[in-house]
Amino acid sequence: MRVLTPFPPDELDAPAGFELTHGDATAEWPVVAAEQAQFYVPAYRFDLRVVEVMRDMPALESVQLLTAGFEHALPYLPEGVRLANGAGIHDAATAELAVGLMIGAQRRLADLARSQPQGVWDNQMTSSLADRRVLVVGAGNIARALRRRLESHECEVTLVGRSARDGVQAFSALPDLLPNADIVVLLVPLTETTRGLVDASFLAAMPAGALLVNVARGPVVVTDALLAETRTGRLRAALDVIDPEPLPADHPLWVTPGVTITPHVGGAASSMWPRARRLVNEQLRRLAAGEPLLHQVA
């Protein structure tokens, strides 16, 4: 089997009979190898070129993304080609960034960092992360990783998923859960169901002073509705993703008090690489053994 991967071939443990070629559609692209590739791993880039090239890969049978989200790849996926997402690769990195955003917002770290160059000794009392009621909208791998970390910070954590099950509330319970949440964390995939989920009515149900943390996808939140709530100071927000991305430099959210923005870096940490290589190696083993791919989404 011919494999096109952003990893140098010697970093992977390919089964016998597998031919690996390095390729990155944003940099070094081996055209002949791409035309012959049956298994493709797009490079981890926020650049549609890495998935657009799938339309010009006639031998393609399977694609392994290095991202948990996969909606960006679907428009370019040839008919009949299997698609697997990078479930598990970003659990640790995204969960720890979510915790960091929460601590930063609760303890006013951005304000204190701005005070430092001015020599201002701003030692007012802040709200802790401990004892907060955290509502996590999403119940997948990253949400469970986040729950483990938050429980160690002595938070009361509730997960919400599409359906109720052990340890998870259903989406239908959100109207009852939101008014009691100190912090709401978004960790859902972007689908037609979740697009615009956090609208004016969702935000209005959150109590005054609550914090919204988005480490999911930007369009899950209606940006104008969030701006309306944060401009008044009724709600706070910590956003690793936002609609649109990148956020224009003159957008008012950049300077809205109580809003922290990071540039979609939730999964972009060193912990992703060994997890990514392990997943690709496992998928290659499965292909060699004739077993189904893990985390197949299309």
CATH number at residue 84: 3.40.50.720
Give the count of beta carbons closer than 10 Å to the beta carbon of residue 189: 17
Give tens-digit pLDDT for 57-91: 999 999 999 999 999 999 999 999 999 999 999 99
pLDDT in tens, 215-268: 999 999 999 999 999 999 999 999 999 999 999 999 999 999 999 999 999 999
On whether both 53 and 131 belong to a single domain, the answer is: no
Asked if residue 189 and residue 129 are part of one domain, the reply reads: yes
Are 6 and 70 within one domain? yes
**pLDDT tens-place string over residues 141-156:** 999 999 999 999 999 9
- Please state, in angstroms and as integers, the Cα–Cα distance from residue 184 to each residue in 71, 82, 201, 289, following that order: 23, 34, 14, 43
Name the domain count of the chain.
2
Active site residues: 217, 245, 264
Q: Is residue 110 part of a domain?
A: yes
In a domain, 298, yes or no: no
**135 and 48 inside one domain:** no
Q: Are residues 202 and 164 in the same domain?
A: yes
pLDDT, residue 295, reads 97
Rounded CA separation 19/33 (Å):
10
The pLDDT value recorded for residue 121 is: 97
Tell whether 53 and 170 lie within a shared domain. no
Residue 296 falls inside a structural domain: no
In the chain, where do the E strands start and end?
A: 2-5, 19-22, 39-40, 62-64, 82-84, 133-137, 156-161, 168-170, 183-186, 211-214, 236-239, 259-261
| % residues pLDDT > 90 (the chain) | 100
Give the span between the Cα atoms of 101 and 87, in whole angstroms: 22
Predicted pLDDT of residue 68: 92
Is 295 part of a structural domain of the chain? no
**Looking at the domain assignment, is residue 210 inside a domain?**
yes
> For 209, left (φ over 0), alpha (ψ -120 to 50), or beta?
left
- 153 and 41 in a common domain: no
| Same domain flag for 151 and 278 | no
Q: Are residues 118 and 252 in the same domain?
A: yes
Let me know if residue 213 belongs to a domain: yes
Span 131-149, average pLDDT: 97
Domain that holds residue 34: 2-89+270-289
**Mean pLDDT score of the chain, rounded to an integer?**
97
Whether the CB-CB separation of 213 and 207 falls below 8 Å is answered with no
Residues 33 and 83 in one domain: yes
Whether residue 274 sits in one domain with residue 254: no
192/241 same-domain check: yes
